[in-house]
């Protein structure tokens, strides 16, 4: 029996079968082109960027969503998603100043902001005269912005 060269139709069928087999055997949660992320990569979420404002003095002494009492002299913050007790580094992107705060409330109520800060935190970031500023938030301890995975302390 002599071997014949494969026709284009036969080659196309073999190629289609190979691609289908490769697609079936590749895990669905891992794209073919991207490398698998290490556990260390999951522990450091991307920073969140947006606008910050600070609490009014009239809220001094009011209860927070986390059960505490708001104090303008404490370095605290309100965030929509992060759990109570999460530690954040907040950087004022207009002047480079940073402050570490603890999430102790829910908010902000304005959709244009990502965080509300205590007056002391706003003073540390030097934006009390402006009222709002552009900031970067980094989770130091607590849970990440986009998952329920705990963040290891630094």
CATH code of the domain containing 119: 2.40.40.10
The pLDDT assigned to 18 comes to 59
C-alpha separations of 51 from 118, 120, 131, 137 in Å: 14, 17, 10, 10
Q: Is residue 129 part of a domain?
A: yes
pLDDT in tens, 61-80: 999 999 999 999 999 999 99
As to burial, measured by CB atoms within 10 angstroms (0-12 exposed, 13-18 middle, 19+ buried), residue 84 is middle
The sign one gets for the Cα dihedral 127, 91, 53, 74 is negative
Comparing 122 with 26, which gets the higher pLDDT? 122
Number of domains into which the chain is organized = 1
Q: Is residue 69 part of a domain?
A: yes
Q: Is residue 15 part of a domain?
A: no
The sign one gets for the Cα dihedral 151, 53, 81, 35 is negative
Q: Find the distance separating the first CA and the last CA of the chain, reported in whole Å.
A: 71
Q: Is residue 20 part of a domain?
A: no
User: Would you place residue 154 in the very low, low, confident or very high pLDDT band (cuts 50, 70, 90)?
Assistant: very low
Q: Is residue 10 part of a domain?
A: no
Q: Is residue 133 part of a domain?
A: yes
Q: Is residue 135 part of a domain?
A: yes
The pLDDT assigned to 46 comes to 86
Residue spans of alpha helices (H) in 3-130: 8-25, 39-42, 119-125
The pLDDT assigned to 11 comes to 57
The structure's pTM equals 0.67
The domain containing residue 76 runs over which residues? Answer: 47-151
Q: Is residue 75 part of a domain?
A: yes
pLDDT in tens, 24-34: 555 555 455 54
């Amino acid at each position: 029996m002599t071997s014949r060269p494969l026709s284009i139709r036969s080659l196309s069928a073999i190629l289609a079968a190979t691609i289908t087999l490769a697609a079936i055997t590749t895990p669905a949660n891992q794209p073919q082109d991207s490398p698998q992320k290490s556990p260390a990569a999951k522990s450091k979420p991307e920073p969140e960027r947006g606008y910050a404002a600070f609490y009014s003095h009239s809220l001094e002494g009011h209860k927070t969503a986390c059960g505490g009492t708001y104090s303008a002299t404490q370095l605290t913050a309100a965030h929509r998603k992060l759990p109570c007790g999460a530690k954040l580094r907040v950087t004022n992107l207009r002047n480079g100043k940073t402050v570490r705060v603890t999430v102790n409330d829910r908010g902000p109520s304005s959709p244009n902001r990502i965080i509300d800060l205590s007056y002391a935190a706003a003073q540390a970031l030097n934006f009390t005269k402006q009222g709002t500023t552009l900031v970067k938030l980094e989770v130091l301890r607590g849970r990440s912005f986009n998952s329920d995975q705990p963040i290891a302390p630094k």
